[in-house]
Amino acid sequence: MATQVTAPDLPEIERARERLAGVARVTPVFPSETLSRLAGRPVRLKAENLQRTGSFKIRGAYTKVSGLEPEQRAAGVVAASAGNHGQAVAWAARELGAPARIFMPQDSPMAKVDATRNYGAEVELTGAAFEETLATARAHIERTGATFVHPYEDTLVMSGQGTIGLELAEQVAELETVVLPIGGGGLASGISLALRAVRPGLRLVGVQAAGTRPGGSGYTIADGIAVKEPGEPTMGILSETLDDIVFVEDEQIAEAIVLLAERTKLVVEGAGAVSVAAILGGLAGGSGPALALLSGGNIDASLMVQVMRRGLALHGRYLVLRTRVPDRPGELAKLLGLLAEERVNVVEVEHQREAAGVPVGHTGVELTLLTRDPEHCEQLIAELDGWGYPAERLD
């Protein structure tokens, strides 16, 4: 099952582009006035979140599966993945007539499991952790002779991802810096190799989630790049092609997701937002035009809601507070009436009759309010206090 992984050269990436013609979308590049203003430099977005299956992954998966001999395809392909890679391999296998079996951790989001099945693959949920899932996949390969499609440690896969570099080099003339997410490193390797060949003067920066760095928590909302350590072959490539590697925190990633959704109308997952987070955080270096790769848009709906609420709170658009009212009929209505007079939209009200710290004869109340900006939040808290409702901010 072991194969020699080498860095693809420009002709290999160009051949991958020929294979992907009419298969992978040539995804658009959008300028963003809002992000440019916030970053203090022109910012453009390469929207791979609009790619088939919702991420860049089909480029590498299709390139790999289409490069197999007929008898190899007949024996089937296998992937171990909890997300985008599994969906991409399933889609590519369906298009090329190869049986596919995707091994996924037992607690994988059902939306991703269903999407993978809908692309025609057999899905096997196995293992509490990804390492167990991978071990089961490898055992299946040994028994059946199927081909394992690695998400990043594969020359053909890197060639497919590198086609993004060829595209954006043609799409954007004036460019100083390109910012790329790094998980296993296959995407950044392929793109950086392509750009070093066709636009050697560009500044190339890789971005990882801070939670994955040595000594980090291991958790990040950017689950698509939640790899503790990129592959040895890819890191060897990146050490030669990248100018820098930087880290972004989950708070920065969440803010980028919210900005992209609200201002550019683009839905991205955590891994797809890290490049924007690095540019907005001033981590990418340089001062000229920058391009952020939005690598994918397959964000779990519940996480999106959580991130949007948190992002709105950070921008003063969402205020959660705790106060108290006398425990008498009509007192809560009185408070809500005062807020209505201030044109405040009340999203949620929760009674907390036995809340700790609430004096006898009072009832605790937790309010979720929609607000205009941070100044409006402070104004409301001051007004509540003036009305006799001492408020504690919770967000």
pLDDT tens-digit readout, 48-73: 999 999 999 999 999 999 999 999 99
Domains, the chain, ranges and CATH?
Answer: 10-56+154-309 (3.40.50.1100), 58-148 (3.40.50.1100), 316-393 (3.30.70.260)
Q: Predicted confidence band at 230 (pLDDT cuts at 50, 70, 90)?
A: confident
Rounded CA gap, 61 and 19, in Å? 11
> With 70 as the cut, is the pLDDT of residue 356 above it?
no
Q: Helix or strand or coil: residue 64? A: helix
Question: According to the model, what pLDDT value does residue 108 have?
Answer: 80
Q: Is the dihedral of CA 216, 222, 226, 232 positive or negative?
A: negative
Residues listed for the chain: 395
Q: Helix or strand or coil: residue 120? A: coil
Lowest mean pLDDT across 164-168, 228-232, 323-327: 228-232
Question: According to the model, what pLDDT value does residue 215 have?
Answer: 79
> With 70 as the cut, is the pLDDT of residue 289 above it?
yes
CA proximity to 193, closest of 183, 184, 180, 212: 180
- Strands, E assignment, the chain: 29-31, 43-47, 77-80, 100-104, 122-125, 147-148, 177-181, 203-209, 244-248, 290-294, 318-326, 345-352, 362-370, 392-393
Rounded CA gap, 71 and 357, in Å? 72
The tokens describing 322, both together, are 């705790």
Please tell me the number of Cα atoms within 13 Å of 344 on its side-chain side: 28
Query: pTM, whole model, 2 decimals?
Result: 0.88
